[in-house]
Chain A
Amino acid sequence: MHQDKFEKVAGNGLINRRYLLGLGLSGVGIAAASSVLGADSALKIEIPTWSKVPGPGASAYGRRSTHTEHMQRLARPPDPFYPGGGASLSPLQHLQGTITPNSLHFERHHAGVPNISPAEHKLVINGLVRQPLVFDYEDLLKYPMVSKIHFLECSGNSGSLLRGGNADGTAQSLHGLVSCAEWTGIPLSTLLDEAGVLPKARWVAAVGADAASMGRSVPLNKALDDVLVALYQNGEPVRPEQGYPMRLFCPGWEGNISVKWLTHLKLTNEPAQFRDETSKYTDTQPDRSSYQFTFRMGTKSLITSPSGQMALNRQGFYKVTGIAWSGSGSIRRVEVSADGGRSWADALIESNQFEKALTRFSIPWEWNGGDAVLQSRATDDQGNVQPTRDAVIADQGAINFYHNPCIQSWGINSAGEVSNVYI
């Protein structure tokens, strides 16, 4: 038998992922059992008080445990010159699996959340169509719908990493502008077919019913491919902060093009050149030219535990876990390094590997009490590999802060403190 308790597959303590499956785990179980036997004879398990009195009965609307109320979105402070504008970030380090609860899904608003009465809301299709149409909410509920699990990520997610700093950052504060849900809605192609798209049409200008009437232009090819008019999010009507009563949903693309509170679709020959596709959400390069219409989100992953501001309280066995996603397809592979990228080991894929959806990975790790740098690196089914931070900066400079898919490095010191580091 190997001298180590577990089979190491990469530097600084990474253990073969099969120990998280059946076979290897028996070894863990034996080790744990032998260390507990006789370890603390004073240990006594009693019936808790809550097992001795009936609790409250059924309720009309569910609430989470009072013991999990610290799991909150992190809202950026309001800007008096930007009424209702801003964002809140999802607490990635507290979540497991791949579906983000609706109440913790990240937000990004350009003029606040409108309070829309569905009975008065209209969805208009006009422009280069045979027949302009208007739809009521109740009518749209009668259409055949599809349900797809997809991530949504703000193009500004992780952008602050390119500028340095953030030693005190958490998975949430640095990367929390990504979430994942089951979106149920009508394929946009269904509604466009009904209006009759004219041959000259190349783009669909989409506008929301918020105070900014936020707009983005979507290429017709995408609109006819996999775009939804989403009415439900994880089984319930889309939440107000996600676009109630309906939003556009463009799988794999930068979040703001999935226009919320969708009220207007106009078929055009050229992009509308809205503010949010010219002045904002364009990517200035080192030579001062700017990329316009960078739609697709990158191939990306992130370790959510251990992650920034956590602390390892003992040496020994840990499960390293995180999320991976790609705007180009499904996640094929996630590798993890504990030595700052010198050696890598394949992580176990814990969840379904849906296209353009979060995928959960994990790998066992034995911390020896010394310095470590944990990283993860995703590869998607198109062969795209997540880049290092240095590679992203070399490629696009640091003026632009949109579309940063870079590898996150979590440094761990001998006290077990985890923080964001640049290597």
Chain B
Amino acid sequence: MSIFKPLGYITFAISIVQFGLLAYSQEAVRLGTPISEGQLAEFDLIATPDGSGFPEGSGTAREGKAVYDTRCAACHAATGEGISGRTVIAGGDMQSEETPLRTVGSYWPYASTIFDFVRRAMPADAPKSLSNEEVYQVTAYVLYLNGIIQEDTLINADSLNAIKMPNADGFIDRSHIQ
């Protein structure tokens, strides 16, 4: 026991020194480990409308049908009409008289969000199990089901973000109210 007592005092003394540094020299705790963007390539899944964060690759709706039928159709149904209200991804009209059906085609303002969301969160029972190529293919197929592209339109980072979604002008940015 007697061995630990002096160590305890030393620790106490050190903590006072650290506190003193914090309080009087404005020296901040800095414990983050530097890392490079390259080291984060697999980790960073944020793909945005300016094209940032998109991996290499491309796909067409024709290619995407096989992936969709196997991995997506169980919830979203064969042509995107959905099994439940929550899983409808195609159709809808924001100007309909009744409460509008809000889908990728009728509502989503950015095409990038399809790729970003499918890559991070779909399929719901096995997220992140699709390859980047498959995500491009499925993204193309969802756009095709909504009548936004043709079956053979090649979707890659550039062509995807060049698409103007049908409801792109339907949003009012309120982010200034904080």
| Chain A residues proximal to chain B, CB less than 8 Å | 79, 81-83, 85, 110-111, 124-126, 131-136, 139-140, 142-144, 190-191, 193-195, 205, 207, 211-215, 219, 221-222, 264, 266, 268-275, 278-279, 282, 284, 288-296, 399
Chain B contact-residue range equals: 35 or more
Residues of the A chain whose Cβ atoms lie less than 8 Å from the Cβ of B170 = 288-290
Q: Are A193 and B117 in contact (CB under 8 A)?
A: no
Q: Are A83 and B50 in contact (CB under 8 A)?
A: no
CA distance A139 to B30 in the complex (A): 9
Contact of B32 among A125, A266, A268 (CB under 8 A): A125
Q: What residue in chain B is nearest A133 (Cβ atoms)?
A: B32
129-172 of chain B: CB within 8 A of chain A: 170-172
CA distance A124 to B36 in the complex (A): 11
Shortest C-beta distance, A380 to chain B (Å), equals 15
15-62 of chain B: CB within 8 A of chain A: 22, 28-37, 40, 43-46, 48-50, 52
Q: Are B121 and A194 in contact (CB under 8 A)?
A: no
Residues of the B chain whose Cβ atoms lie less than 8 Å from the Cβ of A134 = 32-33, 35
Q: Are B175 and A292 in contact (CB under 8 A)?
A: yes
Q: Are B113 and A273 in contact (CB under 8 A)?
A: yes
Q: Are B35 and A133 in contact (CB under 8 A)?
A: yes
Residues of the A chain whose Cβ atoms lie less than 8 Å from the Cβ of B28 = 190, 193-194
Residue among A193, A211, A264, A290 having the largest count of chain B Cβ atoms under 10 Å: A290
Q: Are A132 and B178 in contact (CB under 8 A)?
A: no
Q: What residue in chain B is nearest A193 (Cβ atoms)?
A: B28
- Among B1-9, B63-71, B99-107, which stretch is in contact with chain A? B99-107
Q: Are A292 and B173 in contact (CB under 8 A)?
A: yes
Shortest C-beta distance, B46 to chain A (Å), equals 5
Q: What residue in chain B is nearest A214 (Cβ atoms)?
A: B121
Residues of the B chain whose Cβ atoms lie less than 8 Å from the Cβ of A279 = 102, 104, 107-108, 113, 117
Shortest C-beta distance, A134 to chain B (Å), equals 5
Q: Are A275 and B117 in contact (CB under 8 A)?
A: yes
Q: Are A284 and B102 in contact (CB under 8 A)?
A: yes
Shortest C-beta distance, B104 to chain A (Å), equals 8
Contact of A111 among B22, B35, B100, B127 (CB under 8 A): B127
Q: Is B87 on the interface with A (CB-CB < 8 A)? A: yes
Q: How many A-B residue pairs have CB under 8 A?
A: 160
Q: What residue in chain A is nearest B19 (Cβ atoms)?
A: A144
CA distance A275 to B40 in the complex (A): 22
Between A and B, 6 residue pairs with Cβ closer than 8 Å are A79-B84, A133-B35, A135-B31, A221-B178, A269-B50, A273-B116
Shortest C-beta distance, A224 to chain B (Å), equals 11
| Chain B residues proximal to chain A, CB less than 8 Å | 22, 28-37, 40, 43-46, 48-50, 52, 75, 83-84, 86-87, 94-95, 99-100, 102, 104, 107-110, 112-113, 116-117, 120-121, 124-125, 127-128, 170-175, 177-178
Residues of the A chain whose Cβ atoms lie less than 8 Å from the Cβ of B104 = 279
Q: Are B83 and A266 in contact (CB under 8 A)?
A: no
Residue among B45, B107, B117, B125 having the largest count of chain A Cβ atoms under 10 Å: B117
Top 10 closest pairs, chain A to chain B, by CB: A133-B32, A293-B175, A213-B120, A139-B31, A275-B117, A212-B121, A292-B171, A273-B110, A288-B94, A81-B75
Contact of A81 among B86, B99, B108 (CB under 8 A): B86
Q: What residue in chain A is nearest B99 (Cβ atoms)?
A: A399
CA distance A125 to B31 in the complex (A): 13
Contact of A272 among B48, B95, B100 (CB under 8 A): B48
Residues of the B chain whose Cβ atoms lie less than 8 Å from the Cβ of A272 = 46, 48, 116
Residues of the A chain whose Cβ atoms lie less than 8 Å from the Cβ of B30 = 194
Residues of the B chain whose Cβ atoms lie less than 8 Å from the Cβ of A268 = 46, 48, 52
Q: Are B35 and A219 in contact (CB under 8 A)?
A: no
Given A134-B33, A284-B102, 12 more A-B residue pairs with CB atoms under 8 Å apart are A132-B35, A135-B31, A135-B33, A191-B32, A207-B46, A212-B127, A284-B94, A290-B170, A292-B109, A295-B177, A295-B178, A296-B178
Contact of B35 among A85, A124, A278 (CB under 8 A): A124
